[in-house]
């Protein structure tokens, strides 16, 4: 849900709740036959606040009901103008502050964000995401459901939540489990960054367009009298850079290691692999919360046989427990180390993967709600 690169750019003045006059954080307009959305929080790499989630939801519902709109385009605003970065995730400083204060808007954020993710995946019109620059956590949540997912040569994509004691939410279980082979387990457990081309090979993007071409592409989409939403999609797909067919880098080795039954077996397999890839993966795994690595492996494996709505309900259970299950929240500690005190040395509840008892991580999957009272019960 969070993007690690954007967190240090956030300031306390950006921590807000709905109703604070923050409409400028999400810019929307209809031009020609397309609805245009620009995330406009560039100093924080467009990290999502509750306001932004609500503004995005309202904009999408408005566009869905507007017969003039054939398709919806979404991009991020960079420090130097449109594009540059898409979205670094959720506002984790707000998570930290709200968790310590017992602020109920923390729960509202996740409920409404996951509902927004579901709306995007099930949207009735083409929804086209321009995933330039940083695309992490919550940025994945508002792009993976797009009918056309466009990356660039500058895309930096990741689901780095285990490094702050969290898990890849916003439907992460659903879309990571559908990556080829066990690439999803690799990305979810280690939080490794991948490029735009690698995102295509992982099934997390549809095509690449060079960054310098994006302004003209956007302008053309606004000025062309398309006959249908499908025509918009076809034209965009015709603009993709051509690549020779290939596999995700080191996929055979990834499948060998990350298909194993437990985090400890995965770690031992990486130790025994002498490649540079394995050393990097192991280093990332060792920085993550041991407890949440166990949770994430189970999350992705469970989600592989789930539909999106059930996965989002499971993730709503998980995120509740991340903040409420333990007296000392692993997530609050992870955010403290990264974005509050910035010492980058979280004091995890367990020192090693082998220290996590087999009866600990399953508790995260016990829903605190009945099916009739679950906050996402209406998703289908």
Active-site option among 3, 6, 84, 90: 90
CA distance 243 to 10: 37
Phi-psi group of 213: left, alpha or beta (phi > 0 → left; psi -120 to 50 → alpha; rest → beta): alpha
The distance in angstroms from the start CA to the end CA of the chain is 22
For the beta carbon of residue 114, count every other beta carbon within 10 angstroms. Answer: 27
Within the chain, strands assigned E span: 26-31, 34-39, 71-78, 81-82, 127-131, 134-136, 148-151, 156-158, 207-208
Q: Are 136 and 130 in contact (CB under 8 A)?
A: no
Active-site option among 113, 132, 161, 311: 161
161 is catalytic: yes
CA distance 348 to 248: 32
Active-site option among 5, 113, 169, 315: 169
> Distance from CA of residue 274 to its chain's centroid?
31
CA distance 295 to 292: 5
For the beta carbon of residue 212, count every other beta carbon within 10 angstroms. Answer: 10
Of the candidates 312, 363, 275, 344, which has an alpha carbon nearest to the alpha carbon of residue 4? Answer: 344
Q: Are 324 and 364 in contact (CB under 8 A)?
A: no
Which letter does DSSP use for residue 83 in this model? B
Active-site option among 89, 138, 173, 196: 138
90 is catalytic: yes
Q: In angstroms, how far apart are the furthest CA atoms of the chain?
A: 61
Question: Residues with catalytic annotation?
Answer: 90, 138, 161, 169
């Amino acid at each position: 849900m969070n993007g690690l690169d954007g967190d240090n750019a956030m300031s306390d003045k950006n921590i807000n709740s709905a109703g604070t006059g923050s409409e400028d954080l999400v810019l929307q307009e209809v031009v020609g036959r397309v609805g245009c959305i620009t995330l406009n929080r560039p100093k924080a790499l467009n990290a999502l606040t509750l306001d932004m989630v609500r503004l995005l939801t309202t904009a999408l519902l408005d566009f869905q009901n507007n017969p003039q709109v054939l398709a919806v385009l979404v991009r991020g605003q960079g420090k130097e103008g449109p594009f540059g970065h898409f979205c670094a995730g959720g506002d984790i400083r707000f998570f930290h502050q709200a968790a310590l204060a017992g602020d109920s808007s923390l729960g509202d954020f996740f409920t409404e964000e996951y509902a927004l993710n579901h709306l995007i995946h099930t949207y009735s019109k083409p929804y086209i995401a321009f995933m330039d620059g940083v695309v992490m956590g919550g940025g994945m949540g508002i792009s993976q459901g797009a009918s056309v997912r466009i990356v660039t040569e500058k895309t930096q994509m990741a689901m780095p939540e285990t490094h702050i004691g969290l898990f890849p939410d916003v439907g992460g279980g659903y879309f990571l489990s559908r990556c080829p082979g066990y690439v999803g387990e690799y990305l979810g457990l280690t939080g490794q960054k991948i490029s735009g081309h690698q995102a295509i090979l992982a099934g997390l993007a549809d095509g690449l367009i060079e960054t310098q071409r994006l302004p003209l592409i956007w302008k053309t989409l606004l000025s062309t009298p398309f006959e249908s939403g499908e025509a918009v999609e076809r034209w965009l797909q015709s603009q993709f850079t051509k690549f020779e067919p290939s596999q995700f880098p080191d996929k055979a080795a990834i499948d060998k290691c990350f298909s194993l039954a437990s985090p400890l077996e995965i770690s031992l397999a990486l130790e025994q692999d002498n490649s540079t890839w394995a050393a990097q993966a192991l280093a990332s795994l060792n920085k993550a919360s041991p407890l949440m690595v166990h949770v994430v492996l189970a999350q992705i494996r469970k989600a592989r046989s789930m539909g999106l709505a059930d996965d989002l309900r499971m993730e709503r259970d998980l995120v509740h427990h991340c903040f409420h299950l333990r007296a000392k929240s692993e997530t609050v500690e992870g955010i403290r180390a990264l974005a509050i005190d910035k010492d980058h040395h979280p004091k995890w509840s367990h020192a090693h993967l082998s220290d996590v008892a087999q009866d600990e991580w399953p508790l995260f999957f016990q829903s605190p709600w009945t099916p009739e009272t679950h906050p996402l019960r209406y998703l289908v």
